[in-house]
């Protein structure tokens, strides 16, 4: 290659940036929680710690069914409550007998975590674990040094015994009357990373994944992966709004995870039913569609199986997602942009937003161009019919877009803020028919880098008819 033919260099990243493990986590989009334990058998959410382990007897437990359910839902990571607040351990811990060893299940020889790992590994599904800091059973709780040593010992068991663990979940919840206790989070996190360097640590404050600030599965309409970790504290209820939106000036890359249950409760209850498909899609658009990963809890029942009504609802959910997003109506559009870094042959043209790489190929405008950044899709023949617009940023080089607008045939149909890994806009006007779609970036941190654009049709989306009537649609 001669000097005259040298390739155009990529733009400089805008800090902070995601790690490799954070990027892989973000691409999962949908992951699954299994809340399971003595609460399953006592019809409760928070156990007292005084439960008799003899009540734990899931005679039909089949982790293969759990994992098959996850795979059919399009899930590649499942997280199990190894120990919830009641202190009962789903594995035979060396450091307490308040566990499966004192239950009748498999004559005290069982290990739920091992069952899950053995089911997940051959199916290519990764495993994560939840270990509650609040322990209502263990007498060491409330005594800082002994309890922290106990907790660290259990962490080491989990991270040494069961192979690769992709996410470890630290829950900040505890009762208002709980014994005062100082958790040595810094020591815990250091131990986790020492044992498994590629793991993602979840807590209210990260350090790899943060809580979204609610258990409804909804992120803020503005949602930054960046935040100031120094402003966060595990269990601090006053920062929920900050967790929900993040911070455009944040110094740390701490993407949010939206946790919500398919039922009203986190544990299985006979009296409860799964959410409707409409509710699940609403959650999806407001979590995955707002730059988050959705952690959907699906609790096994007292038999040790995922209830069939939950299995069926998950199949409907997956089918609906595939129906909406498997086809990109924009794929044959003509495309142009306000400017192109390096010109038409520079490798950063607008055509990149229609390929299958949603991270490392992207449209990049010219550096220093403070003008109106836009990218335009034009139908070759008759107009398109769609009601969802998907936009994705090249977040490997930082989250950038602060404000954007979408126009169809010159009419503004969306006025939005952040984009991040994925932004899904369901059009409030309902189905739109048009020939020209233009996305304008009104404000960004540096030049915007858009990796993917999609136009989709959602047959399940029925906006408020009063709105569409007012608009004359």
Q: Do residues 423 and 388 touch, judged by C-beta distance below 8 A?
A: no
Residue/partner pairs of 311-316 with CB below 8 Å, 24 or more apart: 311/69, 311/72, 313/262, 313/274, 313/275, 313/276, 313/277, 313/280, 314/69, 314/72, 314/73, 314/262, 315/72, 315/73, 316/277
* Intra-chain end-to-end CA distance of the chain, in Å: 56
Secondary element (H or E) of residue 256: strand 256-261
Return the SS3 of 89: strand
Q: What is the pLDDT along the chain (473 residues), one digit of tens a residue?
A: 455 568 899 999 999 999 999 999 999 999 999 999 999 999 999 999 999 999 999 999 999 999 999 999 999 999 999 999 999 999 999 999 999 999 999 999 999 999 999 999 999 999 999 999 999 999 999 999 999 999 999 999 999 999 999 999 999 988 888 999 999 999 999 999 999 999 999 999 999 999 999 999 999 999 999 999 999 999 887 899 999 999 999 999 999 999 999 999 999 999 999 999 999 999 999 999 999 999 999 999 999 999 999 999 999 999 999 999 999 999 999 999 999 999 999 999 999 999 999 999 999 999 876 678 999 999 988 889 999 999 999 999 999 999 999 999 999 999 999 999 999 999 999 999 999 999 999 999 999 999 999 999 999 998 875 444 433 32
Domain chopping of the chain, boundaries = 20-325, 334-470
Q: Do residues 272 and 310 touch, judged by C-beta distance below 8 A?
A: no
pLDDT at 370: 67
pLDDT at 471: 34
Q: Of 123, 11, 94, 74, which Cα lies nearest the Cα of 316?
A: 74
pLDDT at 5: 67
Q: Which two tokens stand for residue 440?
A: 């304008």
Q: Give the global pTM.
A: 0.96
Return the SS3 of 143: coil
Q: Which parts of 116-206 are beta strand (E)? A: 126-131, 167-169, 200-203
d(C-alpha 268, C-alpha 300), whole Å: 6
Question: Vertex 448, ends 442 and 449: CA angle to 5°?
Answer: 145
Q: Of 158, 168, 260, 162, which Cα lies nearest the Cα of 213?
A: 260
CATH of 20-325, one of 3.30.1330.10, 3.20.20.80, 1.20.120.1730, 3.30.420.40: 3.20.20.80
Q: Of 238, 153, 168, 241, which Cα lies nearest the Cα of 206?
A: 168
pLDDT at 4: 56
- Dihedral sign for Cα 52, 171, 32, 159, please: negative
d(C-alpha 455, C-alpha 17), whole Å: 28
CATH 2.60.120.260 applies to domain 334-470:
yes
d(C-alpha 48, C-alpha 253), whole Å: 37
């Amino acid at each position: 290659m001669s000097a005259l033919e040298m390739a155009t260099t990529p733009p400089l990243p805008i800090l902070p940036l995601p790690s490799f493990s954070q990027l892989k986590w973000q691409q999962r989009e949908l992951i699954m929680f299994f809340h399971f334990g003595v609460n399953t058998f006592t019809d409760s959410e928070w156990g007292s710690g005084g439960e008799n382990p003899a009540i734990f007897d899931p005679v039909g437990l089949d982790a293969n069914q759990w994992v098959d359910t996850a795979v059919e839902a399009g899930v590649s990571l499942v997280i199990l409550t190894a120990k919830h607040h009641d202190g009962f351990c789903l594995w035979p811990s060396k450091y307490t007998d308040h566990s499966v060893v004192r239950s009748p299940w498999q004559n005290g020889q069982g290990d739920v975590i091992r069952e899950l790992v053995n089911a997940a590994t051959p199916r290519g599904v990764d495993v994560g674990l939840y270990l509650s800091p609040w322990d209502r059973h263990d007498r060491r709780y409330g005594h800082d040094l002994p309890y922290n040593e106990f907790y660290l010992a259990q962490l080491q068991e989990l991270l040494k015994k069961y192979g690769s663990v992709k996410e470890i979940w630290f829950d900040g919840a505890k009762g208002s009357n709980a014994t005062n206790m100082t958790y040595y989070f810094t020591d815990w996190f250091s131990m986790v990373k020492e044992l498994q360097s590629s793991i993602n640590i979840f807590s209210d404050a990260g350090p790899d994944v943060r809580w979204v600030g609610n258990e409804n599965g909804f992120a803020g309409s503005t949602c930054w992966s960046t935040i100031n970790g120094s402003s966060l504290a595990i269990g601090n209820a006053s920062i929920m709004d900050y967790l929900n939106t993040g911070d455009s000036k944040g110094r740390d890359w701490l993407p949010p995870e939206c946790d919500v249950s398919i039922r009203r409760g986190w544990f299985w209850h006979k009296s409860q039913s799964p959410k409707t498909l409409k509710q699940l899609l609403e959650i999806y658009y407001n979590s995955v569609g707002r730059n988050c990963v959705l952690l959907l809890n699906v609790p096994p029942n007292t038999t040790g199986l995922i209830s069939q009504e939950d299995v069926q609802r998950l199949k409907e959910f997956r089918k609906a997602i595939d129906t909406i997003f498997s086809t990109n109506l924009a794929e044959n559009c003509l495309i142009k942009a306000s400017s192109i870094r390096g010109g038409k042959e520079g490798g950063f043209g607008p055509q990149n937003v229609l390929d299958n790489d949603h991270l490392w190929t992207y449209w990049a405008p010219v550096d220093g161009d403070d003008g109106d950044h836009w990218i335009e899709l034009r139908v070759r023949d008759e107009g398109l019919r769609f009601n969802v617009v998907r936009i994705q940023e090249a977040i490997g080089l930082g989250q950038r877009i602060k404000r954007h607008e979408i126009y169809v045939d010159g009419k503004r149909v969306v006025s939005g803020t952040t984009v991040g890994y994925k932004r899904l806009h369901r059009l409030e006007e309902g189905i739109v028919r048009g020939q020209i779609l233009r996305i304008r970036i009104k404000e960004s941190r540096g030049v915007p880098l858009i990796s993917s654009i999609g136009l989709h049709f959602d047959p399940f989306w029925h906006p408020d008819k009063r709105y569409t009537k007012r608009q004359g649609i």
